Structure 1
């Protein structure tokens, strides 16, 4: 990761940890990246510090004497002035209970020690980006409320501001069928230049004319019925819509009932939409960075651990089986020594992608567990189903026929697979599944490799 790209996005960060060496490590790294950093060694000092000057983000350790991180977070969230400060827990505690507790108390994220600075910076920047977007959206909402308030003023006040407004503003009156009373169209009573340009007319050509239904027929025909319902029920309409016009393409409109018609305000939100799309793209890239193995492009160990925890809970509730296959490449050290590490990397990529294509269900997960070891998590699958998957994996890897002349098993790359299946229960840890599969894989190696064993 190129840290220099973060220097222009500075933020005020408070570090809370009772170990000075931890504070020094984080503080030095973050200051070097351009952040403003304050450090304290206790929960009570942290609470005093934030009242003097609020930080943008707090990085908070959990295990501290006198007042732990949970108590600090709980106190912050109970204070009306401090509750919006994002808290990222940084702790060596890796149990799911600790993480759930952290989030229940109001933590916005959780980083497990030992950490990588790239991950810390990515998570900090994600929260700072969200804060910036929230501020922009809050400003946008304030402007909308101001515009909506103007709509309820008299026509005399509207006339004085229409021409100078950056928003499109118009007032429409219902035109009803004399016999049935049904709304057939809307007559334009008031319109400003922004709205007129959208219609391709000037204001004088529109006022008093029946133009709305014809315009909506070529734009969004379904809106006409929504405007009719607005007049009949009084239910306001708020929505975003896409309509390319010059350099703008995204708009937000608010329509409210006004007499026997409605008033509408239209705002160009192209800039905001572009920011939202950029944020979504950044989040997707962060998700990939955190959960995908950089070499093989299948799920990584972190992603596997998270999915295992989630599936264990779900299937414990449903009392359905969860199966796991652990496998590694036979004699892979000899492969690396003979063919070279680049060829070894290519071999792992090929195996990972082949297995990924073999395991078809969306709920199944293929992950690189570590080194040349991989895992396949199979929810709602019993032992017989897991064995079929393992057999398919063996067959497709045999079919690849990757040469391995230094192997005393076969002259091609082979796998040793361990299979296990359990119905999860609440008082048993998910790690039990891993231990059983690992033992089965060990047995497969002891029995001569290039085979699977169950446990």
Structure 2
């Protein structure tokens, strides 16, 4: 792998698009953020460019003359020197078929146009982070194998490298009960300064002494019995342990059978653990960016679509009902025109949070599964394994929660406060129906609620509206 991504450097990005305006737009955005960017306008030029200098990530358009993006990606993955380069498709094609094909030919992600800069950067940084962690892991594996090779050498060879090793190294011999042959402790045969320091002792205080059981009682007593099992079975032992010493907290050790005892190497992995925690936090933030609506702080459309399709597939097999409530704020355009868009944003946030909080506590046998912003002033509530009666109860609870907000709306066609119209639909999924059918039913019911005067809910199918 020729990529040399360092933690303090931005990535080297290749953009491939036959439309120069698209290239210029994305290139300018990424350059402003500190990335190194190269651009080409055809698939053939892209293949020539990557062979001259490999990028860290490729953004690849799908629809291009002569050679489309799928063919370019297939060519990259067929070349063993280039197949490691992650390819992110960025295209106006938004069908599921196009996205699936992108992943089938080897793409790692698929972004649809028009794109949001924050989404592009988040997905790009995710791939760069994966590459960095992969390189760190490869280096860690190489070092670990080197350490294990040393441990399999003779005691004489081990002694010659003890003082120069950056890892803690020791060899232990079993001390057995004369009558039963049971291991009662271990004698330290050799130990280097690094390992002696971990135990807060000198080498002289450890070599030749029977003390392992006592030392392990300070760290993790059950480790002693695992070392006994190692010696008796010959099965190596490897794990991370938490043991605060000075500024170090985490250690990784590998122990292998050596005669009637074992050899062990210990490495300080405190820095690695900190990196893992930082990566975990970054992944959580990326997940939030991808699934939470930034204005209302409830789930976004993307999160809802994914959840609906997942539950739909599951409930086809279970033959249980899915219920959907689709609602929006009455006369919201008039609200924005009169009170201003900042007030409108604040209103959307208050409504979303009120709905979210009220659905957490409604007595409907189980918590509501998902509250999401569907778009603009429109929201959805997904109820899993719930029938139409539960949908009605939840809708009534939503109406009451918004009434309690008592947000003034002088220009509403329903009341002098902010209200909502709701459409309720419930269905048992089947293989002959698509999830969008449930949305269509709820949308038609919402339309009926608006036509009948707003500030009410309507039920899909042959039911009357309710005030």
TM-score tier (shorter): over 0.9
**Residue 367 (structure 1) aligns with:** 372
Contact 2:330–2:413 at 8 Å: present in 1 too? no
Q: State how 1:369-448 maps to structure 2 within 5 Å.
A: 369-448=374-453
The question of 1:68 aligning with 2:73 is answered no
Q: CA deviation at 1:290?
A: 2.1
Which residue in the other structure is 2:224 paired with? 224
Per the TM alignment, residue 419 of structure 1 is displaced from its structure 2 partner at its CA by 1.0
Alpha-carbon separation, structure 2, partners of 1:87 and 1:351: 40
Q: 1:339 and 1:439, CA in 2 relative to 1: closer, same or farther beyond 3 A? A: same
Correspondence 1:289 to 2:289: yes
**Deviations 1:152-184, CA, capped at 9 Å, x for gaps:** 112222222211211110111112222222222
Name 2:133's counterpart in structure 1. Answer: 133
Equivalence for 1:279: 279
CA contact 2:325–2:391 (8 Å) conserved in 1: yes
Equivalents in 2 of 1:427, 1:91: separation in Å?
30
Q: Distance in 2 between matches of 1:31 and 1:445?
A: 48
Distance 2:368 2:70 in 1: 34
Closer, same or farther: CA 166–155 of 1 in aligned 2, 3 Å? same
Encode CA deviations 1:344-370: one digit per residue, 9 max, x unaligned: 333222211111122235671111112
When structure 1 is superposed on structure 2, of 251-260 and 18-27 the one drifting more is 18-27
CA 1:363–1:185: 2 relative to 1, 3 Å: farther
How many Å separate the matches in 2 of 1:183 and 1:44?
A: 68
C-alpha distance in structure 1 between counterparts of 2:145 and 2:273, whole Å: 19
Higher deviation after alignment, 42-51 or 118-127? 42-51
Structure 1 stretches of 4+ with a deviation exceeding 6 A read none
Counterparts of 1:35-434 in structure 2, within 5 Å, are 35-360=35-360, 364-434=369-439
TM-score, L = length of structure 1 = 0.93
Following the alignment from structure 1 to structure 2, what is the Cα–Cα distance between the partners of residues 65 and 427?
37
Determine the structure 2 residue equivalent to 1:3.
none
- SS of the counterpart of 1:359? helix
Question: Once the 2 structures are TM-superposed, how far is the Cα of residue 338 of structure 1 from its aligned partner?
Answer: 4.0
Unaligned runs of 5+ in 1: 1-6
Q: Using the TM superposition, give the Cα deviation of residue 87 of structure 1 relative to its aligned residue in structure 2, in angstroms.
A: 1.0
Assess, with a 3 A threshold, how the Cα gap between structure 1 residues 317 and 55 changes in structure 2: closer, same or farther: farther
Partner Cα separation in structure 1 for residue 72 and residue 388 of structure 2: 46
Local SS of the residue matching 2:412: coil
Q: Assess if the C-alpha contact under 8 Å between 1:174 and 1:260 holds in 2.
A: yes
Contact in 2 for aligned 1:91/1:113 (Cα 8 Å) = yes
CA distance in 2, matches of 1:359, 1:211: 60
Distance apart, 1:372 and its partner CA? 1.6
Measured at CA, do residues 169 and 10 of structure 1 come closer, stay the same or move farther in structure 2, by a change above 3 Å? same
SS at match of 2:190: strand
Q: What is the deviation of 1:439? A: 1.2
Q: Which deviates further from its counterpart, 129-138 or 259-268?
A: 129-138
TM-score by structure 2 length?
Answer: 0.90
Q: Deviations over 1:87-133 (max 9, x none)?
A: 11111122233323322332211111110222212221221122122
The residue that corresponds to 1:451 in the other structure is 456
Displacement of 1:386 after TM fit?
1.8
8 Å CA contact 1:186–1:212 kept in 2: the answer is yes
Moved more, 312-321 or 388-397: 312-321
Contact 2:359 2:368 in 1 (8 A): no
What secondary structure is seen at the aligned counterpart in 2 of 1:67?
A: coil
CA distance 1:181–1:8, change in 2 (3 Å): closer
